[in-house]
Structure 1
Amino acid sequence: MTQRKLKIAFLGSSLVSAYWNGAATYYRGIIRALHERGHRVTFYEPDAYERQQHRDMEDPDWAKVVVYEANETAALACLKNAQEADLVVKASGVGVLDEFLEREVLKLQTKDRLVVFWDVDAPATLDRIDQNENDPFRNLIPQYDLILTYGGGDPVVDAYESWGAKKCVPVYNALDTATHFPVEPQAKFECDLAFLGNRLPDREARVEEFFLNVATRLPEYKFMIGGSGWGDKPMSENVNYIGHVFTHDHNAFNCTPKAVLNISRESMARYGFSPATRVFEAAGAGACIITDYWEGIDFFFEPETEILVARDGEEVAEIMRLLNPERAAAIGRAAYEKVLAKHTYAHRAAGLEALLHSHFNQRTKAKETVA
């Protein structure tokens, strides 16, 4: 039987700009893969945080992008247009009008239209509602047809279902083979260990432990940090801060250093099963990845063979002391082979499509039973 091709309205932070928007490459990978399977996505994003002034890309041919003014009137106009969709997605962390959109989007639910909440920072959301008994999102969770998450495994699924979610399913990060792949090294990114990530409150202490303090321990090694917000952060002389790294430079940034470091946000490390997008992007470029420890790593990569794991800064330093270029290259090749075989957005989109069609088929059967 031919699977139904869906019209999808997606309300998120930004598809065209990764500026202060770490979810951008995740959105791009998923939405491009859905388009390749015949689904059509309109992505609604607010004009906020200077993201439109720091675009990484023009409007793609695999999604329609609608940029709206960051006010309720403009947002309501987008929701009116979204009535043409079969599926409406409200992502977490749009950055403006989140409470408003999370409430208003539920008014679009019908017997023929699913409304989904897609949480791209589930650990932070769950911590927030657990700590604030007046958080309005608590009462909205059971009303959504489906909760999708960026990751989190069973701990996140169990937590969401304890708040009354009808169903919660992780859709993990993956490799977008159209944008992340091996390239020639670039001299401007040469170093022993590189880290890419924006400065955020629940990441900063871990960056100090796993990266900046390691640089102090290894003064003879060269370190590089990219991302927004680190300009006034004290760093040792062997650390080169290069600011925001545009998406088109990610491959060279990952390919060139001897190793690249993944540092999870505190909440994601605590819940586990939350590999950051950069892990798959780096693996897709053939990088040797060192990651902080979190439960579930071996669900995605084999430690010591496809990825190196450190539980603290001293272990990062010890890995760097022992890591030679030959072993780094071998680990990078193994990681590259693994993501191509099991962790591309084509894999994720196929699973998501099956999930959505199951929901629509259940709706159809229920209607036929009533009739």
Structure 2
Amino acid sequence: MRMVIFGLTVTSSWGNGHATLWRGLIRALAQLGWGISFFERDTPYYARARDLDRLDGGEVVIYPDWKGVRHAAANAIQQADVVIVTSYCADAVEASRLAQDSCQGLKVFYDLDTAVTLSRIEQGDLPPYFDPEGLRDFDLVLSYTGGPAVEALKTTLGARHILPLYGHVDPNHHRPSQPRAEFAGDLSYLGTYAADRQQGVEKLLLAPAVQMPDRRFVIGGAQYPVEFPWRDNIFFVRHLPPADHPAFFCSSRLTLNVTREAMARKGWCPSGRLFEAAACGAAIISDDWPGLDSFFEPGSEILLAHCTDDVVAALDLSDGELEALRRRARERVLDEHTSAHRATELDRILNDAAGSATEPMREAI
């Protein structure tokens, strides 16, 4: 089976959550027999921070502009059983139109940013990865967000057949690791700076740092502004490639998850960082949002923080209590949320979607 993907990036994890997800999913899909080509526009900010030079399980086509790649894209689409266009793809509109004209197989849109998409539409702003026709011409729409967002995509963008496909983790790359001194801390937080996460970061990390000056706090990520309110007991690690994530997670007693405002408001949208941290054996404390308990059991597999005092209390838990939390979270993610689980799910979804229109593409796994 041939799959062609037009996405944001797979070669650089700098400042985005797409690349790591695609790497794990493509690797797992290849093990199910899929041949995959990923088209990515060459952009200076990703080119300067590439942390992958060979895609395990697929090929990457990096192109300078749409005009230069259109002929190759058309050939790939004509030979594909499935074409997937994603949110934030630099040439999503052009790729979508070409797929509608040339694809003989399934035409799929995967919104990995559903909460942001819906938030912008609510403000009267159609994201640039959609043309005015929205999603009505796609055979299938996949959403990174579940719950009420699924129906909202149908209502606002005319999607006919839509299913959630949640985040995941590749345990071959995210697993327990030896701690490293430069990442050591009582509480760590890994995430790209975002203005709509800053209130949560201030409440759940900066405020605890003020109350606990003898504790060490560590932030890892990219795009943090010079005016960020650093303190003497808060240490910064600039953008970390995925290879360093396990050591980062395993070097602190507790790691924090803060969800972007649009994602938290819609709910049913687990960050890939949650699954990564759990797979690495980290003890996790997270802000709360609707649907979180469908992915991890609060109090048993993950701690919830509604205020500063919740974080302070969590940092006072014993090593034994945190170790039990780590073990149960890792067991849950390995049982339900790996890239292999999502690949098998996607393989079934694609076979079912193809079978509803024509004959089944092949026997379901």
- Please classify the TM superposition score into its range, dividing by the shorter chain length: over 0.9
Instruction: Give 1:158's aligned residue.
Output: 151
Verify: 1:27 aligned to 2:22, yes or no: yes
Match of 1:338 among 327, 332, 351: 332
In the TM superposition, 1:302-321 aligns within 5 A as: 302-320=297-315
Instruction: Give 1:369's aligned residue.
Output: none
Deviation at 1:49, TM superposition (A): 3.8
Verify: 1:243 aligned to 2:238, yes or no: yes
Amino acid at match of 1:59: R
Instruction: Give 1:145's aligned residue.
Output: 139
Amino acid at match of 1:160: L
Instruction: Give 1:38's aligned residue.
Output: 33
Match of 2:322 among 323, 328, 333: 328
Verify: 1:265 aligned to 2:260, yes or no: yes
In the TM superposition, 1:171-210 aligns within 5 A as: 171-210=165-204
CA distance in 2, matches of 1:19, 1:214: 28
Deviation at 1:208, TM superposition (A): 2.1
CA RMSD of superposed structures (Å): 1.8
Q: Please state whether the residue corresponding to 1:317 is helix, strand or coil.
A: helix
CA distance in 2, matches of 1:192, 1:137: 47
CA distance in 2, matches of 1:148, 1:223: 37
Whether the aligned pair in 1 keeps the contact of 2:74 and 2:98 (CA below 8 Å) is no
Instruction: Give 1:58's aligned residue.
Output: 53
Q: Please state whether the residue corresponding to 1:225 is helix, strand or coil.
A: strand
Runs of at least 5 residues in structure 1 that lack an aligned partner in the other structure: 1-5, 367-371
Instruction: Give 2:117's aligned residue.
Output: 125
Whether the aligned pair in 2 keeps the contact of 1:196 and 1:226 (CA below 8 Å) is yes
Verify: 1:282 aligned to 2:277, yes or no: yes
Runs of at least 5 residues in structure 2 that lack an aligned partner in the other structure: 361-365
Deviation at 1:363, TM superposition (A): 2.1
Whether the aligned pair in 2 keeps the contact of 1:146 and 1:166 (CA below 8 Å) is yes
Deviation at 1:248, TM superposition (A): 0.7
- Between the aligned residues of both structures, percent identity stands at 36
Structure 1 residues 37 and 241: CA distance shift in structure 2, 3 A:
same
What CA deviation, in whole Å up to 9, does each residue of 1:159-196 have, x standing for no partner?
Answer: 01223211111111112111111111111111000001
Deviation at 1:203, TM superposition (A): 2.0
Q: Please state whether the residue corresponding to 1:82 is helix, strand or coil.
A: helix
TM-score scaled to structure 1, two decimals?
0.91
Instruction: Give 1:11's aligned residue.
Output: 6
> Aligned pair count?
355
Deviation at 1:330, TM superposition (A): 1.4
Deviation at 1:107, TM superposition (A): 2.7
Q: Please state whether the residue corresponding to 1:54 is helix, strand or coil.
A: coil
CA distance in 1, matches of 2:17, 2:211: 29
Amino acid at match of 2:91: L
